């Protein structure tokens, strides 16, 4: 791998060869560090390159990168951890000063051994002082030093993310270090948690990563609303306590987002993340709504879905997930019981249409959530209720496709057409309708495509 590293990087980063030649000619240290090396050794796609140099050489290497890539730099991070990001290049390229006087000091401060590797362009030497390559081969996440997790407690969550990424496990000493660092998670900004948790939720083994974080108490620290669900007894429909049921729902979604019996397409990444967030928070209102029937001893959670939706909005308000994301999340949680309470054999068309119009394009996600919730409630064999859900899904999808035009808004408006030079009049409505039909059929999928089509139609007019 080391022998052909230059060739491999050169294939996706054309400036690599000239950058290497410059580093060798001028003898100014420049290192490729971090995730790119990890991904190259795993033969995984490389999406970004991280370079490190001496602080006094930052301006020199900025100029060299600009010359070879024709991009421009923007500044990221605080002054102490300043990073310059190259934009305009085909991939993300970051340049930062070494954390300390030399490379050894920099690598010593990194989180995990799989990220504490470097390739010196100027010297053509591979540096792996903490045996990150060996850890990759063995599939184990090892922290460089326990105190490094205390320096940035977010690394607790990153450990779970990298564990999933390399399909490995946590070293026992790393898990112990994570437990210690968990006490300091309140020092981390919420939006940083969101980035790492989104990576985990997008993975098809998200439940495993979340399970590790629950086991050491980290997820409850990040999302305190989960804590009351631990050991919360449920009714006879359930075979698990509320928190274990929550994790089982995410595990079922891990499976159903890839392959499900409802003939629903696998959701895109953002929708996988959304529906798993919904699963993670869908029962948080149960602790507030639990009642026990004095005559029968039956446990109830009346209205818990509304409380859960409210708690989800409140909990994630500082996570910088966006208003639209939170709106969709809240809608999924508030309606998560509805598909499970409808009987396809005796439910009126009006009730089905109301559900379709309430969920709009998130109907598929609601049905996936219901299927996962059902499996997590009654185990691997939910019996006739799953068949009911399959039949209900078929009817709902028929209504959805028939009524799609009523709730999918056109990508362009009359103002857009006037801005393109079309005079006010009947032609505006005709063009909007023609483009909307192509939008519904899937021929047009973005506003840019809609505007381009509008220009053609105006020219033909």
Among 163-177, 354-368, 376-390, 447-461, whose mean pLDDT is lowest?
Answer: 376-390
pLDDT of residue 78: 56
Domain boundary at 366, 387, 407, which? 407
The model carries a pTM of 0.85
Q: What is the CATH number of the domain that holds 51?
A: 3.30.460.10
Res. 17 pLDDT band, cuts 50 70 90: very high
List the beta bridge partners of residue 157.
none
The number of angstroms, rounded, from the C-alpha of 207 to the middle of its chain's C-alpha atoms is: 13
Are residue 321 and residue 336 in the same domain, yes or no?
yes
Are residue 28 and residue 99 in the same domain, yes or no?
yes
Tell me the per-residue pLDDT of 118-157, one tens digit each, with 9 for 90 and over.
999 999 999 999 999 999 999 999 999 999 999 999 999 9
Among 129-133, 143-147, 170-174, 343-347, whose mean pLDDT is lowest?
Answer: 343-347
Could you count the other beta carbons within 10 Å of the beta carbon of residue 240? 15
Does pLDDT of 74 surpass 70?
Answer: yes
The upper half-sphere exposure of residue 225, i.e. CA atoms within 13 Å in the direction of its Cβ, equals: 20
- Asked, for residue 237, whether it belongs to a domain, the answer is no
Strand residues in 54-138 grouped as ranges (E): 72-76, 83-87, 92-97, 118-120, 125-127
**Mean per-residue pLDDT for 219-234?**
95
d(CA 442, CA 371): 27
Are residue 278 and residue 403 in the same domain, yes or no?
yes
Are residue 340 and residue 438 in the same domain, yes or no?
no
Domain enclosing residue 401, as ranges: 258-407
Res. 401 pLDDT band, cuts 50 70 90: confident
**Burial of 247 from C-beta contacts in 10 A (0-12 / 13-18 / 19+):** buried
d(CA 206, CA 204): 6
Tell me the per-residue pLDDT of 22-33, one tens digit each, with 9 for 90 and over.
999 988 999 999
pLDDT of residue 32: 98
Q: How many separate domains does the chain show?
A: 3
Are residue 285 and residue 425 in the same domain, yes or no?
no
Mean pLDDT, the chain, rounded, equals 91
* Straight-line distance from the first to the last Cα atom of the chain, in angstroms, rounded to the nearest whole number: 60
Are residue 288 and residue 384 in the same domain, yes or no?
yes
């Amino acid at each position: 791998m080391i022998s052909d590293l230059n060739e491999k990087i050169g294939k996706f980063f054309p400036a690599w060869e000239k950058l290497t030649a410059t580093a060798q000619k001028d003898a100014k240290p420049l290192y490729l560090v971090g995730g790119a090396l990890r991904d190259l050794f795993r033969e995984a796609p490389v999406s970004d390159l991280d370079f490190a140099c001496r602080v006094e050489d930052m301006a020199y290497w900025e100029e060299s990168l600009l010359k070879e890539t024709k991009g421009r730099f923007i500044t990221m991070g605080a002054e102490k951890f300043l990073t310059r990001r190259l934009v305009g290049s085909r991939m993300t390229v970051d340049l930062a000063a070494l954390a300390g006087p030399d490379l050894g000091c920099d690598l010593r401060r990194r989180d995990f051994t799989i990220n504490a590797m470097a390739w010196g362009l100027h010297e053509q030497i591979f540096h792996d002082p903490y045996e990150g390559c060996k850890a990759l081969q063995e599939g184990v996440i090892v922290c460089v030093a326990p105190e490094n997790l205390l320096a940035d407690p977010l690394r607790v969550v990153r450990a779970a993310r990298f564990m999933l990424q390399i399909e490995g496990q946590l070293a026992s000493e790393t898990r112990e270090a994570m437990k210690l660092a968990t006490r300091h998670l309140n020092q981390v900004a919420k939006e940083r948690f969101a980035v790492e948790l989104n990576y985990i939720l997008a993975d098809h083994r998200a439940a495993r990563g979340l399970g590790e974080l629950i086991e050491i108490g980290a997820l409850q620290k990040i999302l305190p609303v989960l804590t009351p669900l631990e050991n919360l007894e449920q009714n006879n429909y359930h075979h698990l306590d509320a928190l274990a049921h929550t994790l089982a729902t995410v595990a079922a979604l891990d499976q159903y987002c890839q392959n499900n019996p409802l003939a629903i397409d696998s959701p895109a990444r953002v929708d996988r993340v959304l529906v798993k967030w919904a699963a993670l928070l869908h029962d948080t209102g149960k602790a507030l709504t639990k009642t026990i029937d004095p005559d029968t001893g039956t446990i109830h959670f009346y209205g818990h879905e509304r409380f859960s939706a409210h708690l989800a909005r409140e909990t994630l308000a500082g996570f910088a997930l966006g208003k639209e994301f939170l709106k969709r999340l809240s809608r999924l949680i508030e309606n998560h019981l509805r598909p499970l309470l409808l009987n396809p054999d005796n439910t009126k068309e009006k009730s089905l249409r109301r559900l379709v119009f309430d969920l709009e394009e998130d109907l598929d996600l609601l049905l996936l959530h219901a299927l996962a919730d059902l499996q997590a409630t009654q185990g691997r064999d939910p019996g006739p209720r799953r068949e009911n859900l399959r039949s209900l899904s078929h009817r709902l999808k028929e209504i959805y496709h028939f009524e799609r035009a009523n709730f999918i808004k056109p990508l362009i408006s009359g103002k857009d057409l006037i801005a393109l030079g079309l005079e006010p009049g009947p032609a505006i409505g005709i063009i909007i309708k023609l483009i909307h039909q192509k939008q519904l059929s899937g021929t047009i999928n973005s506003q840019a495509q809609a505007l381009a089509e509008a220009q053609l139609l105006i020219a033909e007019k």
